[in-house]
Amino acid sequence: MNQNIERIEVFLDESKEPLQVLTNPPFKVKLDTLNIPDGPHTLRVVTVFKGGKMEENVVDFEVDNLPSPFIDGIDDGQQVRGVVEFDVLTGDYEAPKSKGRLTATLAVLSTIVVLGLIWAFFAFSGMSTSIVAANAVQTEESKPAAANADHGKELYAAQCASCHGAKAEGGFGPALAGNPMVGEADDFNKVVVQGRGSMPPFSNLSEQDLADLRAYLSSLGGKSDAGAAAAPAAPAASEADVATGKSVYSQQCAGCHGPNGEGGFGPALAGNPLLDKPEEFNKVTHEGRGSMPPFPQLEDDKLAAVRAFLKTK
């Protein structure tokens, strides 16, 4: 069992600062290759076992950010681009049986998904801190004690827009404009500071930054009431739909798209813009695409239930 593993540290190139420290499975790492120069790089994965023993695995890879949307595998020496997400598998976490002494071996990088322009690495790196610092300098003199929506807007554009959309309409992450959580300071702050699912933590943000972000987001309108009023014809998903959707999803989709739609071998479906485009969503699911197999037998109402379930994620 991996209770033997105390933590896994992931380092990029010569860096002494770990890119990420993982303490619980699944050991997922996101790396934005758009933020590192093209050319050869090294990922060093250090597993620290209880009692202090360590093991090191090194993977060489090459970054080549030419414009092309998807790849879905990585091997030693392979070229990668965009943002790569992969699981670091440990001995007991579905590691390939062929890997020899599993408990001691950190098995390989397994599934890799390129998520277009999503830059979680950004959040893990020192860069986000320097951008916050830069913003802080710009607004320092005008910074009152009260929440400052302009400052929130800058923070949002620099740190959140890549995943939640330029106008907080949603993208890789769910819509934040009109999101009821914006009104719940404690919940909001917790998700942002600690991260959740595929959302990275932003522990560098101060209480003031968070208040500014909320001030900006609540100024965007699209309040939950307004949202409901804008789409009166669409019946709210019933709990039954969500339950059906969950069961279909868990059996047929979760293996590739993650138990909560957070992505895995296939892209994230939680917060995916296709959730609001039933025709396209159904088409991809019925016909398959790329490495995604077709599911012609799933009726439209089943897929509507799957979307209803994913929207709760």
User: Which amino acid, 70?
Assistant: F
Site residues for ligand HEC per CB under 6 A? 70, 72, 118, 120, 123, 159-160, 162-164, 172-174, 176, 179, 181, 188, 191-192, 196-200, 202, 213, 252-253, 255-257, 260, 262, 265-267, 269-272, 274, 281, 284-285, 289-293, 295, 298, 306, 313
**Is the CB of residue 110 less than 8 Å from the CB of residue 87?**
yes
Minimal distance in Å, beta carbon 141 to ligand HEC? 23
Minimal distance in Å, beta carbon 158 to ligand HEC? 8
**Is the CB of residue 200 less than 8 Å from the CB of residue 216?**
no
Q: Which is nearer to ligand HEC, 11 or 121 (CB)?
A: 121
In sequence order, what DSSP letters do the residues of 137-173 get, joined into one string?
HHHTTT--SS--HHHHHHHHHHHTHHHH-TTS--SSS
Minimal distance in Å, beta carbon 185 to ligand HEC? 11
Q: Which is nearer to ligand HEC, 22 or 199 (CB)?
A: 199
Minimal distance in Å, beta carbon 33 to ligand HEC? 14
Minimal distance in Å, beta carbon 311 to ligand HEC? 10
**Is the CB of residue 242 less than 8 Å from the CB of residue 305?**
yes
Q: Which is nearer to ligand HEC, 91 or 200 (CB)?
A: 200
Q: Which is nearer to ligand HEC, 5 or 220 (CB)?
A: 220
Minimal distance in Å, beta carbon 262 to ligand HEC? 5
- Count how many Cα atoms sit within 13 Å of the Cα of residue 201 in the half-sphere of its side chain: 10
Q: How far apart are CA 159 and CA 87, in angstroms?
A: 24
Q: Which residues contact 8 (CB under 8 A, 6 or more apart)?
A: 21, 22, 23, 27, 45, 46, 47, 48, 88, 90, 106
Q: Which is nearer to ligand HEC, 47 or 282 (CB)?
A: 282
Residues 21-39 as b/e (b if ≥16 CB within 10 A, e otherwise) read: ebeebebbbbbbbbeeeee
Q: Which is nearer to ligand HEC, 53 or 167 (CB)?
A: 167
**Is the CB of residue 63 less than 8 Å from the CB of residue 34?**
no
Mapping DSSP to helix (H, G, I), strand (E, B) and coil, where does residue 265 land?
coil
